[in-house]
Chains A and B, each alone.
Chain A
Amino acid sequence: MLRDLLFAPFSDFEFMRRALAAVIALSLGSGPIGVFLMLRRMSLVGDAMAHAILPGAAIGFLLSGLNLFAMTTGGLVAGFAVALLSGLVSRSTGLKEDASMATFYLASLAIGVTIVSVKGTNIDLLHVLFGNILAMDDPTLLMVATNATITLVVLAVIYRPLVVESVDPLFLRTVSRAGAPAHLIFLGLIVVNLVNGFQALGTLLAVGLMILPAGIARFWSRDVTPMICIAVGAAIVSGYVGLVLSFQTRIPSGPAIILVASLIYLGSVLFGRVGGVLPQLFPGRHLEA
C-alpha cells in the first residue's frame, strides 16, 4: 500500500523517474543560490529576475516553437543582460541594486508579455508561465543536470568572496577586488538556475525552489554551510513529495512541489529551532551564563 503510494509512480513510469531526477538536480543548484539570495537580502531579486527571463524565452519560442533548448538560450541571454546591466548600473552609479533591477526587469517583462501575446496561443503562455516537469526529454534533463553542476562548481570558486562580501563588504573592498566579479557571477548563477527551474516549474514558480528552501533552512541552523545542506534537502523532499502528490491527486506538478515546500516552511516557522514561533514562546529555563 505504502509502496504503491510512494514508489510505484517512479518504478512504473519513466516520465516520473525523469521528473524526479530533474527535481533533484534543480534542488542541488537552487538550494545554495537561494540561501545566498536570502542572506544578501536579495530574496525578491530572484523574483524580479524570473520575470526578466521571459522575453528571452519568448523570442526563443518565436524562432523555434516549443523547443526548450531555444527558449532556455533566449532566457539565459535576457537574464544575463538584465543581471549584468543592473549590476553595472548599481555599482557605477549611486542607484541601489533593487531599484536598478526593478527598472530593468519591468521593461524586460513588458517586452516578454508583448511578444508572447502577439505571437503565441494561450496554451503556450500557460507552458511558459507554469512549465511542465513531467515532459522532460533527454536533452532537457541533461541540460538541467549540467546547469546544476556548473552552479555548484562556480559557487565553490566564488564562495569565499561571496560570504565576505555579504557579511562585511567594506572589508572585502579594502583587501581584494574580487567583490564585484563575484557579485556579477552570482547574478549569472541566479539566471542559470531560474532558467533551469523555468523548464520544470515555469517563470512564476521557478524562484520558489530557491527561496522557500532557503527560508526553511534559516529556521534550523545558524551557520551557512549547514543552512545550504538543509535547503538542498528541503528542496529535494519538496520535489519528491510534490511529484507523488501531483501523481495521486492530479494537482499540476509545479504548484504541487511549491505547495509542499510552503507547508514545510510553515512547519519551520512554527517549530524551527532557530527563531521559530513555538521555541520562542516556550524557550525553557534560562541558563546560568
Chain B
Amino acid sequence: MAQLQFRDVTLGYDRHPAVHHLSGEVSEGALLAVIGPNGAGKSTLFRGIVGLLKPLAGSISAAGLKPREIAYLPQIADIDRSFPISVFDFVSTGLWRSTGIFGGIGAAAREKIAQAIAAVGLTGFEGRGIGTLSGGQMQRMLFARVLLQDARVIVLDEPFNAMDSKTSADLLQLIEHWHGERRTVLAALHDMDMVRAHFPQTLLLAREAVAWGSTAEVLTSDNLAQARRMCEAFDDAAAPCVPAQASRAA
C-alpha cells in the first residue's frame, strides 16, 4: 500500500520550481534514500511532504495522514540554542501529538522520554541546557524527539551531516529499528556507500526524478552522471511551464 503519493507535483519558491513534475509513490514501511547533488530539491521535497511548502502544482498525499503527523528532522534546524531549556524538556516536546497544548506529562510519559534519551545515548544529559551540547549530541537529541513523536512516516534531511562515524552508526541503527517497525522512512543522504549498505530503495533527484527504484538499479554511474549534468537551472526570465513541457518532462 502506498504511504506517500506524489501526483505530478512541482514545488518551489517564487514560482521557480525546485522539484519539477515529480510523480510516484513510496510504499508503506519503505526505507528510501533520497540522493542528488546540492540544489537537487531534496530539502524542498521534504518541506512539501510535511506541509511547510505548498505545491506550485500537483499534489502530495500521505494515505490519510495529515502533514502534522509526519515526523521531520530538518537539515538546518531553526533552533534557538540560547533558549534556557533542558534536554529533557526539549525532547518532551516530541509528545506534542498526545499532549497537545494542555495535556500533562505524567509518570508514564516521563518514563518514555527517559527511554528516548537513553536510546540515543544521552542518558545523564537530561538536565543540561541545550546550548551546552555539541553538534553530535544535538543531533542525538533531535533523534530522541523524533523517536517520541512515534510517527508512521519519518522524514530526515541529511541527518548525518558533520556526524562522526560512531554517531552515524548509532543513529543509523535507530533508523533500521524504525524500518523494522514498518515505519516509512525517507532520508536525504550524500554517502553512497551508506545508501548501498543500508537503504533498499533510492530516489535520485535532480529537480526531476532521474531514477527511482531499488538502490542497485538507481546507483549506476550513468544515472549519477546524468544527475550531475542537470545542474541548478534558475532563470529569472524563465517562461511559464506549460503542460506540453510537462508531458515531455514526464
Contacts and interface: CB of A to CB of B under 8 A. Distances in A.
A166 B80 CA distance: 7
A163 B85 contact: yes
B74 A223 contact: no
Among A39, A157, A168, A222, residue most surrounded by chain B Cβ atoms (within 10 Å): A168
A178 B103 CA distance: 14
B52 A174 contact: yes
Interface string B78-113: 111001111000100100110011100000000000
B152 to A, nearest CB: 14
B135 interface: no
B50 A157 contact: no
Interface string A241-264: 000000000000000000000000
Interface string A160-179: 11011011111101111110
* Central interface residue in B67, B72, B83, by most chain A CB within 10 Å: B83
B121 interface: no
B13 to A, nearest CB: 11
A161 B101 contact: yes
A224 B79 contact: no
A237 interface: no
Nearest to A169: B78
B68 interface: yes
Given A176-B68, A178-B101, A171 B93 contact: yes
Interface extent on B, as a size class?
A: 20 to 34
Contacts of B58: none
Nearest to A226: B84
Contacts of A140: none
B97 A168 contact: no
B84 A223 contact: yes
Contacts of A178: 101
B180 interface: no
A227 interface: yes
A167 B81 CA distance: 7
Given A39-B84, A173-B52, A174-B50, A167 B101 contact: no
Nearest to A35: B84
A227 B129 CA distance: 14
Contacts of B90: 167-168
A175 B68 contact: yes
B5 to A, nearest CB: 20
B51 interface: yes
Contacts of B85: 163, 167, 223-224
Contacts of A223: 84-86
A198 B52 CA distance: 40
B77 interface: yes
A111 to B, nearest CB: 35
Contacts of A168: 77-80, 90, 93
Contacts of A149: none
A174 B67 contact: yes
Interface in B123-139: 129-130
A167 B80 contact: yes
Given A39-B84, A221-B84, A222-B84, A170 B97 contact: no
B129 A167 contact: no
A50 to B, nearest CB: 25
A174 B77 contact: no
A173 B130 CA distance: 20
A44 B51 CA distance: 32
B65 to A, nearest CB: 13
A222 B86 CA distance: 9
The 3 A-B residue pairs with the shortest CB-CB distance in the complex, in nearest-first order? A167-B83, A170-B78, A175-B96
Given A175-B97, A176-B100, 18 more contacts: A39-B84, A167-B79, A167-B85, A167-B130, A168-B80, A170-B52, A170-B77, A171-B93, A174-B50, A174-B52, A174-B70, A175-B93, A176-B68, A177-B68, A222-B129, A223-B86, A224-B84, A224-B85
11 contacts: A158-B101, A161-B101, A168-B79, A168-B80, A168-B93, A171-B72, A173-B52, A175-B96, A176-B96, A221-B84, A223-B86
